[in-house]
Structure formats: structure tokens, C-alpha cells
């Protein structure tokens, strides 16, 4: 089966996931984590991309990248080939360190971006290995203490124009426990699979903040489109599925998201 072309992001922002081949661990000691961070620094200089968030876990990596030069594949190829060469030499191994093809998802809205950053930063909590405040290999501490590699101003400005106030709001926002929040489940579904109708209905209710999503049919055009714009860029739920669950036509949904 031929590979499908990657979805282009209108914002040039992507959530990238790199996984260990056959689910193997990528980082076996602190030196491995440090080496990967050095490779991120190198590729940032070479390809001029911006990094909004990252989290290095034992067997996978989350990156949120602003790919302003449209070179995402080259960036990740350079990053993974260089690290794999180091890893194979160090551990006297041959073969792939990462899965052959990286996973990427477009980030189309500011709301999704800040929720994505929180999801990425809370990965250590989810895995039960550390609180995000104490985890060395994520960008959370760069936001609240000192920025070293991330380009966090764009994200912080989504909270407040004053940097100090933005950091306070950023911290408060991250204290919401996604592990007990439907948004966490939604992020998981977005990354790994398409939602069935029951799951999709649940998340549409959460995202739109209404008890009955079929009420959208009775809303006036302006109000309905305001709600539909909240669904722009969300993966895992198709326009056809939204139409089926709300009673709206597919064309009305497409026009409302614009």
C-alpha cells in the first residue's frame, strides 16, 4: 500500500512523535538524553526551525516544531540518522533505532497548541516517572525558569502580553491534571486512532461546551459557525462524522470551519 502524503499545516506547526524501533528504548542513560538534545541544537541551527515544546521519554520523543522553511522531513532525517549512528556505535548494534517513519500532526489553532504543550509536558506524570516540574528532559522547566533551547515567546504570548504574568498563567494552566481530564483522552485518540461515533460525540460535547450537539442545527449562522471554528484542525473526527452526529450537512461544516 503506498504511503499517504503528510498533511500540510497552514500554520507550519507540527506535533512530531519519534518512537523506538519495535518499541525499544531509545535512551538508556543520561548521556543518550544529552546527545539527543545536542542533535536538536545542531538541527535548529542548520534548518532554522523553532521548537515550542519537547519531552524525551525512554522509548519515544515528543516535539512541537514551527517548520518555517518547510523542511520537516529533512530536519527529522538529519536528527534521527545522526543520533542512530551514535547509538549503534555506542552499543555495538546494527539496524534501525527509530521506527522507519515519524508521526506528525498539524497544529492549526492556538487553543490546540497550548493544550498540546500541556499534554507533552505531562508525559512524565502519565508514565509515573516524575512530576513535570522535576523532569529534566522536557521543555516545561525552560518555560518557568530559563529558556535554553526552546522558542517559548510565541506560546507565552497566548497567555498574556506581559511575560511574567504569562508564565504565571502557564503554570496554572499546566496544574490542571490532564490525567483526569477528557482532553487527555482526546489527545491520545488524536495521536493513535480515529474516534468511533460514541467517542467523537463525547469529545464534541467537551470541546463545544454544549450538552446536546444536535442543538447546532437550530443555531443561527453566526453562532453555529463560531462553534464550528473550534473544531478546525482537530484530527480523529472527520467532517462526515460531525455531520452524522449533529445533523448538519458536510458543506455547512466545511464552510463554518473557515
User: Residue 198 has what pLDDT?
Assistant: 77
- Binned at pLDDT 50, 70 and 90, residue 48 comes out as very high
pLDDT cut 90: percent of the chain above it: 55
Find out whether 17 and 101 touch, Cβ atoms under 8 Å. Answer: no
- Binned at pLDDT 50, 70 and 90, residue 89 comes out as very high
- Binned at pLDDT 50, 70 and 90, residue 237 comes out as confident
Say how far apart CA 77 and CA 101 lie, in whole Å: 10
- Once rounded to an integer, what is the mean pLDDT over residues 231-235? 66
- Residue 181's alpha-carbon distances to 6, 61, 117, 131, 187, in angstroms, are 29, 22, 15, 17, 10
Helix (H) or strand (E) holding 55: strand 50-56
pLDDT at 55 > cutoff 70: yes
Q: What are phi and psi of 56, to 5 degrees?
A: -100, 115
- Max mean pLDDT among 70-74, 216-220, 229-233, 236-240 falls in 70-74
Domain boundaries for CATH 3.30.70.1290 within the chain: 13-178
- Binned at pLDDT 50, 70 and 90, residue 13 comes out as very high
Residue that has been written with the C-alpha cell 464552510 in this structure? 255
- Binned at pLDDT 50, 70 and 90, residue 14 comes out as very high
Q: Is the dihedral of CA 71, 83, 107, 68 positive or negative?
A: negative
Say how far apart CA 62 and CA 249 lie, in whole Å: 36
Say how far apart CA 237 and CA 250 lie, in whole Å: 13
- Helices 239-246, 250-257: axis angle to 10 degrees equals 120
pLDDT at 3 > cutoff 50: no
**Minimum mean pLDDT among 55-69, 104-118, 140-154: which range?**
104-118
- 232 secondary structure, DSSP code: T
User: Residue 205 has what pLDDT?
Assistant: 82
- Once rounded to an integer, what is the mean pLDDT over residues 192-203? 68
pLDDT digits (tens, 9 = 90+) for 155-168: 999 999 999 999 99
Say how far apart CA 188 and CA 182 lie, in whole Å: 10
Say how far apart CA 248 and CA 240 lie, in whole Å: 10
What is the grid cell recorded at 168? Answer: 504565571
Q: Which fold has domain 13-178?
A: Alpha-Beta Plaits (3.30.70)
Say how far apart CA 54 and CA 149 lie, in whole Å: 10
pLDDT digits (tens, 9 = 90+) for 29-44: 999 999 999 999 999 9
- Binned at pLDDT 50, 70 and 90, residue 186 comes out as low
Amino acid at each position: 500500500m503506498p504511503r499517504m502524503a503528510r498533511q500540510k499545516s497552514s500554520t507550519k506547526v507540527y506535533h512530531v512523535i519519534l518512537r523506538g524501533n519495535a518499541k525499544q528504548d531509545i535512551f538508556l542513560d543520561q548521556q543518550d538524553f544529552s546527545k539527543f538534545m545536542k542533535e536538536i541544537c545542531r538541527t535548529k541551527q542548520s534548518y532554522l526551525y523553532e521548537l515550542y515544546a519537547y519531552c524525551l521519554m525512554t522509548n519515544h520523543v515528543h516535539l512541537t516544531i514551527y517548520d518555517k522553511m518547510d523542511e520537516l522531513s529533512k530536519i527529522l532525517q538529519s536528527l534521527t540518522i545522526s543520533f542512530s549512528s551514535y547509538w549503534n556505535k555506542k552499543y555495538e548494534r546494527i539496524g534501525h533505532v527509530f521506527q522507519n517513519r515519524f508521526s506528525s500532526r498539524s497544529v492549526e489553532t492556538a487553543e490546540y497548541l497550548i493544550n498540546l504543550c500541556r499534554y507533552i509536558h505531562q508525559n512524565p506524570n502519565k508514565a509515573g516517572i516524575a512530576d513535570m516540574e522535576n523532569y529534566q528532559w522536557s521543555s516545561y522547566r525552560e518555560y518557568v525558569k530559563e529558556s535554553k533551547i526552546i522558542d517559548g515567546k510565541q506560546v507565552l504570548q497566548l497567555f498574556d502580553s506581559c511575560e511574567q504574568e504569562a508564565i504565571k498563567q502557564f503554570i496554572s494552566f499546566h496544574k490542571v491534571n490532564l490525567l483526569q481530564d477528557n482532553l487527555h483522552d482526546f489527545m491520545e485518540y488524536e495521536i493513535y486512532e480515529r474516534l468511533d461515533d460514541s467517542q467523537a460525540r463525547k469529545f464534541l460535547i467537551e470541546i463545544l461546551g454544549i450538552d446536546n450537539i444536535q442543538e447546532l442545527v437550530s443555531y443561527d449562522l453566526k453562532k453555529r459557525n463560531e462553534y464550528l471554528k473550534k473544531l478546525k484542525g482537530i484530527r480523529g473526527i472527520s467532517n462526515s462524522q460531525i455531520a452524522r452526529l449533529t445533523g448538519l450537512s458536510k458543506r455547512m461544516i466545511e464552510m463554518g470551519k473557515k
